[in-house]
Chains A and B, each alone.
Chain A
Amino acid sequence: MSLMLQTFSSVKDANAALQAAGTRYLGGGTLMVRAANEGDVSVSSLIRVTDPGLSQIAVSGGKVRLGASVTMAAIARHPELAALAPAARAVGGPAIRNMATVGGNLFAPAPYGDFAVALLALDATVVTEDGELPVEAFLADRNTSRVIVTSVRFSLPKAESFRFLKVSRVKPKGVSVLSIAALLELASDGAVTSARIALGCMADRPMRALAAEKALLGCKLTPREIASALAAASEGIAPITDPIASAWYRAEVLPVHLGRLLLD
């Protein structure tokens, strides 16, 4: 294995070096070193940035900023990010969570990337030196992205309005059959006034369940009223097939688990 590692103190210098062919950014190593270990010869050079600002978490006035190098473990133990802890804890085991980063999760291919599913439901903003992008647009173009993610920003959800579910076969930790994140606002009578639902493993990257979101509006969270939203959840999905589950199985169980999440 022939691989060069370049270390930079600033994102600006690293972005310039990242333009060279065969160069990728090294975050926690759970994606890139793994690829190198598996013999991925498309990567000849790795770049990392030691700027401590990339590892900072800032929470103020209901707004959250997570540096791209913030780990899943740091999110899971942060007292003000309790609403996000289930999504952060869904990633890997303890050692992986000490390494895997927010920035890296945005690039993790299905069946990985459970935290990015949560970020998609939260309508996070992805920040780079080139500017800011909604996470949905960022995910769509991530394969051609050549600029280092420096942070993600989003509004901290109220604990009762944010729901997250990861389904895996091995307990307590396993690779995702699927994951679902939902941001729901309810009126005083219990009717849904806004819904944003993100799905993991239903494509090669996190995707929104747009038809289900629309069908939920005005519904109360009862089995009868959410039925049309559950039926609509499968619209536009193209689940992955891997050793954990087939695309057919994932599509079959999606409405079941979405129903459980909504009725919980």
Chain B
Amino acid sequence: MAKVPVQFTLNGSEKAEFVESSTTLLHALRDKIGDTSPKGGCHQGTCGACSVIIDGELRLSCLTLAETCGGADIRTTAGLAESGVLHPLQRAFLDAFATQCGFCTPGMIMAAKVLLDRTPNPSREDVVEALSGNICRCTGYEPIIQAVLAAARANSQNAA
């Protein structure tokens, strides 16, 4: 099968790869580029573990063909920390024990980041809705919800 070139921006860096038509963005990120922060859970669009941000919108990388991402701005959890300092969401997830096995965490954090980028002071209902496409089998969700609310509070304190 012929390979096609695709170029996109990943966490601010230009990336260029040759991919097969059938290569999903998840596969390209993890196995070709080496960003293993998006996880492959169900590959059906059910679990949300592969969630990434494409051009500002939350998407499932397992259901996105890499070839269709030419020119896109792609953000993953691997690009959140700056100079070794964790992003407020990552910090909050640690502090609130919102991570157990950690498999869902990168997807949860991407879903939460899209929410906080648009709604800096979300209600609890906003958080539940924003995370409704992401499944966690460990925590029972409550610590995750609390972590996102705490990150929002931390952001608004820093901004003040």
Taking a contact as CB atoms under 8 Å apart, the answer to whether B132 and A46 are in contact is: no
Q: Tell me whether B149 is interfacial, beta carbon within 8 Å.
A: no
Residues 39-76 (chain B) with a chain A CB within 8 angstroms? 43-45, 48, 51, 57-60, 62-65, 67-68
Expressed in whole angstroms, the Cα–Cα distance for A92 and B63 within the complex equals 13
Q: Tell me whether A37 is interfacial, beta carbon within 8 Å.
A: yes
Expressed in whole angstroms, the Cα–Cα distance for A36 and B43 within the complex equals 10
Q: Tell me whether A21 is interfacial, beta carbon within 8 Å.
A: no
Query: If A26-B65, A29-B63 touch, does A95 touch B111 (CB 8 Å cutoff)?
Result: yes
Closest chain A residue to B54, Cβ basis: A98
Taking a contact as CB atoms under 8 Å apart, the answer to whether A48 and B59 are in contact is: no
Interface size on B, residues (CB 8 A): 28
Taking a contact as CB atoms under 8 Å apart, the answer to whether A95 and B48 are in contact is: yes
Closest chain A residue to B125, Cβ basis: A172
With A26-B65, A34-B43, A95-B133 already in contact, 12 other A-B pairs whose C-beta atoms are closer than 8 Å? A29-B68, A30-B63, A33-B24, A33-B65, A46-B21, A73-B57, A92-B133, A93-B134, A95-B111, A98-B57, A99-B60, A172-B129
Residues of A within 8 A of B (CB): 1-5, 7, 26, 28-30, 33-34, 36-38, 46, 48, 73, 92-96, 98-99, 172-173
Closest chain A residue to B64, Cβ basis: A29
Closest chain B residue to A38, Cβ basis: B44
Closest chain B residue to A50, Cβ basis: B68
7 closest cross-chain pairs (CB), A and B:
A93-B133, A3-B22, A5-B21, A173-B132, A37-B43, A29-B63, A95-B58
Q: Tell me whether B1 is interfacial, beta carbon within 8 Å.
A: yes
A-B contact count (CB 8 A): 80
Expressed in whole angstroms, the Cα–Cα distance for A173 and B111 within the complex equals 15
Taking a contact as CB atoms under 8 Å apart, the answer to whether B67 and A173 are in contact is: no
Q: Which residues of B contact A96 (CB under 8 A)?
A: 45, 60, 133
Query: If A33-B64, A37-B43, A93-B134 touch, does A2 touch B48 (CB 8 Å cutoff)?
Result: no
Expressed in whole angstroms, the Cα–Cα distance for A141 and B62 within the complex equals 30
Q: Tell me whether B96 is interfacial, beta carbon within 8 Å.
A: no
Q: Tell me whether B130 is interfacial, beta carbon within 8 Å.
A: yes
Q: Which residues of B contact A28 (CB under 8 A)?
A: 63
Closest chain A residue to B24, Cβ basis: A33
Q: Which residues of B contact A29 (CB under 8 A)?
A: 63-65, 68
Expressed in whole angstroms, the Cα–Cα distance for A3 and B129 within the complex equals 35
Expressed in whole angstroms, the Cα–Cα distance for A92 and B51 within the complex equals 14
Q: Which residues of B contact A36 (CB under 8 A)?
A: 22
Q: Which residues of A contact B129 (CB under 8 A)?
A: 94, 172
Taking a contact as CB atoms under 8 Å apart, the answer to whether B59 and A99 are in contact is: yes
Q: Which residues of A contact B62 (CB under 8 A)?
A: 33, 37
Query: If A3-B22, A48-B68 touch, does A95 touch B60 (CB 8 Å cutoff)?
Result: yes
Q: Which residues of B contact A94 (CB under 8 A)?
A: 58, 111, 114, 129-130, 132-133
Closest chain B residue to A2, Cβ basis: B1
Expressed in whole angstroms, the Cα–Cα distance for A93 and B134 within the complex equals 8
A50: min CB distance to chain B, Å: 9
Q: Which residues of B contact A73 (CB under 8 A)?
A: 57
Q: Tell me whether B128 is interfacial, beta carbon within 8 Å.
A: yes
Residue in contact with A99 in the complex, picked from B1, B63, B67, CB distance below 8 Å = B63
Query: If A26-B65, A34-B63, A37-B62 touch, does A3 touch B21 (CB 8 Å cutoff)?
Result: yes
Expressed in whole angstroms, the Cα–Cα distance for A73 and B64 within the complex equals 17
Expressed in whole angstroms, the Cα–Cα distance for A2 and B43 within the complex equals 17
Expressed in whole angstroms, the Cα–Cα distance for A103 and B114 within the complex equals 26
B37: min CB distance to chain A, Å: 16
A131: min CB distance to chain B, Å: 29
Expressed in whole angstroms, the Cα–Cα distance for A95 and B44 within the complex equals 12
Expressed in whole angstroms, the Cα–Cα distance for A172 and B134 within the complex equals 11
Q: Which residues of A contact B67 (CB under 8 A)?
A: 5, 7
